[in-house]
A and B are shown apart, each in its own frame.
Chain A
């Protein structure tokens, strides 16, 4: 947890979805995107920028910018803000451009 203070308000009717973030279990709700689930759980670093190594955490949340690119179920370059959560989904912080293909080249 980064402990910066994002939290969920009381909802009640949404059903739980279990995902992992960087290997750790995280409980989301079925209406979440990956980005909203992470913010709700107190995580806001999604990607480490390939140019200057700076942390990025989601700027536009509508699938237009480059600040929420994450490795989702092994696929790098996936926009967390427009990806709905699914049970068992594996979400990882992306470092730079991530590792693509079998050779694992970034």
Chain B
């Protein structure tokens, strides 16, 4: 069977490696210049140093490279169509157009960061949490000297701590306290409720994530709006012939349609303990795949 896996983050890489080891003909596609998805700019586990993400990424790349999976990088899937019983993907691969034909599609497109809607939020210096992590962790660049991190939760806390460790002045502020962002050519100050003003040169929006189902939506995957996620999630019990959705793109989706639990001997090696590890049920006849965390 020809399987196309869209998204080479940890979920996509594990699925591609597993499927290739089971004798499927796999193409792993990612729009970035390298595989790894958010592992290229995140730190695991919480509070630990970057080496943990690097070593996991190295292992995943090793597992994929030693398999027969074909990896296409700098490859943007800009359209997807059902054709007969399978799929056709329109891919812009480093400027050249390609059509990828697949019997089965694994959607591992992950998540996108939530935006902040206040006056001045389009000023230079306002960026997503992911953007700040890319600059800080991937490029060793401080996004600013005096930052306001907007949001609450583990991700916002982790980022605030990382920025402070890198030498920046950081304040963490809850979303509802932000009234506006001001500046002429970029962020200069942030106005908070209670008539307070904070001098800043960067505002990081760390409010949370929503699943990225843009491509799945093009294939008419049923989605339900979820106010707590501020986005659409995959509908419960959705029937998706030939399509599997895994990893971050499953955010908020409750309950798989079918799950076949099958532990593969390589899973322990290519998915070491961490927030993304687990047993993966992969029913390649077209069920929704559930990403389960291991206990203990």
Residues in chain A within 8 A of chain B (CB atoms): 2, 4-9, 11, 31-33, 36, 39-40, 44-46, 49, 54-64, 67, 81-82, 84
Contact = CB atoms under 8 A, between A and B. Distances in A.
A60 B128 contact: yes
Looking at chain B's contact residues, is the secondary structure mostly helix, strand, loop, or mixed?
loop
B143 A45 contact: no
Nearest to A61: B131
Contacts of B201: 4-6
A61 B127 contact: yes
Given A7-B145, A45-B185, 18 more contacts: A4-B186, A4-B187, A4-B201, A5-B201, A7-B141, A8-B141, A9-B166, A31-B139, A36-B139, A44-B186, A49-B122, A56-B122, A58-B124, A59-B122, A60-B131, A61-B128, A61-B130, A61-B131
Contacts of B194: none
A6 B127 contact: no
A64 B201 CA distance: 23
13 contacts: A4-B186, A4-B201, A4-B202, A31-B138, A57-B124, A57-B186, A58-B124, A61-B127, A62-B32, A62-B131, A67-B122, A82-B31, A82-B32
A40 B145 CA distance: 11
A4 B128 CA distance: 18
Given A6-B143, A9-B167, A36-B139, A60 B122 contact: no
Nearest to B110: A62
Given A6-B141, A55-B124, A56-B122, A61 B135 contact: yes
A23 B279 CA distance: 54
Q: Which 9 residue pairs of A and B lie closest in terms of their CB atoms, listed nearest first?
A: A57-B124, A5-B145, A61-B131, A36-B139, A44-B124, A4-B201, A40-B141, A5-B201, A9-B140
Contacts of A39: 135, 141, 143
Contacts of A11: 140
B140 A8 contact: yes
A44 B140 contact: no
Contact of A57 (B31, B125, B141): B125
Nearest to A67: B122
B112 interface: yes
Interface in B124-177: 124-128, 130-131, 134-135, 138-146, 166-167
B124 A56 contact: yes
Contacts of B134: 36, 61-62
A56 B167 CA distance: 26
A32 B139 contact: yes
Contacts of B135: 36, 39, 61
A28 B216 CA distance: 38
B267 interface: no
A45 B204 CA distance: 16
B181 to A, nearest CB: 12
A12 B124 CA distance: 28
